[in-house]
Amino acid sequence: MNLNPYATVIAYFDGLVICEDDLEGLWFAEIPESSAELGSVIDIAILTELSELPQESQQNILVFLKEQGRK
């Protein structure tokens, strides 16, 4: 299987851009909203997996995404 090396911007949360890859994996980066519009794609090479954040931060983001109807 050939994976897409990009993820789509799906939200902004507490100074982070939140992205989703083709396999519904979540990624993040500290990128200003003005530099990454919702729906744009970002190279995964500059992103970090959401699981690298502290558990509480991960949960806060997941709750936010659910409230937004994203997850």
Token pair recorded at residue 41: 């794609």
Angle at 42 between CA 40 and CA 43, to 5 degrees: 155
Residue 23 lies inside a defined structural domain of this protein: yes
* Number of domains comprising the chain: 1
Q: Dump pLDDT digits (tens) for 1-37.
A: 446 799 999 999 999 999 999 999 999 999 998 899 9
User: Measuring CA to CA, how many Å separate 46 from each of 41, 60, 66?
Assistant: 12, 22, 25
Q: What pTM was computed for the model?
A: 0.89
Residue 1 lies inside a defined structural domain of this protein: no
Q: Residue 11's domain spans which residues?
A: 6-67
Residue 56 lies inside a defined structural domain of this protein: yes
Q: Report how far residue 1's alpha carbon sits from residue 15's, in angstroms, rounded to the nearest whole number.
A: 33
Q: Is the pLDDT of residue 70 over 90?
A: no
Report, as an integer, the average pLDDT of 59-68. 96
Residue 18 lies inside a defined structural domain of this protein: yes
